[in-house]
Amino acid sequence: MRIAVVTGAGSGIGRSVALALSEAGWGLALAGRRAEPLQETAALAPGPCLAVPTDVTSPDGVAALFSRAVDEFGRVDLLFNNAGTFAGGGVPVEDLEYATWRAAVDTNLTGAFLCAQAAFRVMREQSPRGGRIINNGSISAHVPRPDSIAYTATKHAVTGLTKSLSLDGRKYDIACGQIDIGNAATEMTARMQTGVRQANGELAAEPVMAASDVAALVVQMSGLPLSANVQFATVMATAMPYVGRG
């Protein structure tokens, strides 16, 4: 059985991806800040699940997550690096609190790095060696929304993280790719359907897609042999204002 670690697995895209992987036969180590939502995800999954409440900004917490996964399943074949926050969204750059900026960096960038580092340490030593990391980027890894400097900067940084991991992972048979998601219907994007500010200052509702559409793509990427890699993939609501945004 192949084993996946999914962060941010208690809700939204993380939960959808976890359930789709479980249905595809993967064993899961589910990570998130709160125990109860993780247990709810585990209860919905048809296959074996380990729920590990984890703060991805904590090196010790991340190390414990991967240690639990290896103790339970013996190996890790996939990390879906999904935990993230939209901290500072809607706040003009001149009014953004330092603590809010730091919260976005700590979760979206440092958390992704810590989880990837822990995955490298496991994947390079296990037998058979190697594995796959899929980072959750964003449409904002390419273009910003108004007043989203913290989120946008961290998601651009995730792209650099993905490229470096992809290069450095070659010698360990570790593949790393990124999925950039636009307007999946989750709690975080509920406002898209009621109206969000556009680059011209107007409020406009935006189309969304099902989170299960994202999950289907992650399952497809995860099913490739380690000799093949989807380096970057964009999945988005077809009619959302991305191409031509601004």
**Residues 186-211 pLDDT 10s:** 776 667 767 777 878 788 878 888 99
Angle at 54 between CA 49 and CA 60, to 5 degrees: 120
**9 is written with which tokens?**
């697995």
**Residues 11-63 pLDDT 10s:** 999 999 999 999 999 999 999 999 999 999 999 999 999 999 999 999 999 99
Q: Residue 110 pLDDT > 90, yes or no? A: yes
**Residues 167-188 pLDDT 10s:** 999 999 999 999 999 988 877 6
**Residues 207-235 pLDDT 10s:** 888 999 999 999 999 999 999 999 999 99
172 catalytic? Reply is: no
Q: What is the pLDDT, as a whole number, of residue 50? A: 98
Q: What is the pLDDT, as a whole number, of residue 188? A: 67
Strands 232-236 vs 174-182: parallel, antiparallel or unpaired: parallel
- Mean pLDDT taken over the chain: 94
Whether 32 contacts 14, CB under 8 Å: yes
Instruction: Quote the pTM value.
Output: 0.93
Catalytic, out of 98, 151, 172, 242: 151
Q: How many CA atoms lie within 13 A of 193 on its CB side?
A: 11
Q: What is the pLDDT, as a whole number, of residue 204? A: 80
Whether 139 contacts 178, CB under 8 Å: no
Contacts 24+ apart (CB under 8 A), 222-228: 222/4, 222/21, 222/24, 222/26, 222/78, 222/80, 222/132, 222/134, 223/24, 224/132, 224/175, 226/130, 226/131, 226/132, 226/173, 226/174, 226/175, 228/175
**79 is written with which tokens?**
């990390």
Whole-number Å distance between alpha carbons of 131 and 133 = 7
Going from the N-terminus, what domains does the chain have, and what CATH number goes with each? 3-236 (3.40.50.720)
- Going by pLDDT thresholds of 50, 70 and 90, the confidence category of residue 244 is low
